[in-house]
Amino acid sequence: MRSFDYQRPATLTDAVALLERHGPEAQILAGGTDLIIGLRDRTIQPSVVADLKQVPELRPAIDEQDGWLSISAGTTMTQISAHPAIRRHFMALVEGADVVGSVQIRNRATLAGNICNASPAADTAPPLLVFGARVLVEGPAGERRIPIDEFFVRSRETTLLRGELVKSIELPVPREPVGAAYLRLTRRRGTDLASITLCCGVEPSGSTRLAYGSVGPKPVLFTDKSGVLADPATAEDAKLAILEEMLSAASPSPRSVRASPQYRRAMLRVLARRGLRAAVERLRGAA
């Protein structure tokens, strides 16, 4: 590993100033489970590593306020998975957080790190898209909020501007229970990167949200408000036509070592049908 200037800002203002000063030359260190791999294999060679774990506002915290559940940037996957309010309202996010790496990884890896790394295969992205999360950002111009479906660009690239950092991720607490499920396809059981990630959420109105990743440059979200997908009386063919439309954004890379494009497209359909079925069942179970 090449050496770097290690900085540990004590305040949010210092952190933003540091990131603004160094721009792309600086890398944020939160959980480190992606960054340190990149530092070691030299795919990332920052001159400054900014460890943000001392910034009070970024310390692990999960709070509910004004109908929003806020997860601070330092919160780990383990902490998310253990939190009663997240388990009650956003179980599909817990399902995503629970399959990130191993216990050892989840004890360090943060939700903010997972989205900032912007891997198309990020397990937490589809649930965040389905639940309509927004990202609270602090930067040189102050605070702003980015809807999660405008956050991802491609692997390692987000719509964060120079000097900006993620303060927290906010989730709207649903007034009525939403049925949602997270599914993924891996090459083997156990710890593995996903070849497909998918989350489906169904509201009591029948409105259905489908988010998927690992089949294109970024995870994507589609909504069907017709209620057809969630309606048990609708013929299977009618549902498949809508699903097919929602899945048409998939453009799996032919260069992937994990699965061929044909296989991914075929399995994406299977996962979408399973996800829809599971979400509808959960909605009924909650009602």
Partner 1 sequence: MPRTLDVELTVNGAPRRLEVHVHHTLLDVLRDQLGLTGTKECCVVGECGACTVIVDDLPVNSCLMLAVEADGHEVRSVEGLARAGELTPLQQAFLDKGAAQCGFCIPGQLMAAQALLEQSPDPTVADVHEALAGNLCRCSGYEQITEAVLAAAEEMRR
- Contact segment (CB under 8 A) with partner 1 among 11-19, 46-54, 120-128, 135-143 equals 46-54
* CB closer to partner 1, 78 vs 197: 78
Which residues between 158 and 197 bind partner 1 (CB under 8 A)? Answer: 190-191
**247, 260 Cβ separation under 8 angstroms:** no
Among 12, 17, 36, 44, contact with partner 1 (rule: CB under 8 A): 36
1 contributes a contact to partner 1 by CB under 8 A: yes
Q: What is the C-alpha to C-alpha distance for residues 149 and 23, in angstroms, rounded to an integer?
A: 24
Nearer of residues 19 and 243 to partner 1, judged by Cβ? 19
CB of 153 to partner 1, least distance (A): 25
Nearest to 130 by CA among 193, 61, 53, 219: 219
C-alpha distances (whole Å) from 57 to each of 22, 70, 83, 171, 267 are 21, 12, 19, 18, 41
DSSP symbol at 117: H
Site for partner 1 in 76-95 (CB under 8 A): 78
What are the start-end ranges of the E strands in the chain? Answer: 5-7, 26-29, 48-51, 62-65, 68-72, 134-139, 142-147, 152-154, 157-158, 165-172, 179-185, 196-202, 208-213, 220-224
40: contact with partner 1 by CB under 8 A: yes
Return the closest-CA partner of residue 243 out of 197, 277, 281, 283: 277
The mark string for 200-239 relative to partner 1 (x by CB under 8 A, - otherwise) is ----------------------------------------
- Single residue of 12, 17, 32, 234 touching partner 1 by CB under 8 A: 32
The residues binding partner 1 (CB under 8 A) are: 1-6, 8, 29, 32-33, 36-37, 39-40, 49, 51, 53, 78, 101-105, 107-108, 190-191
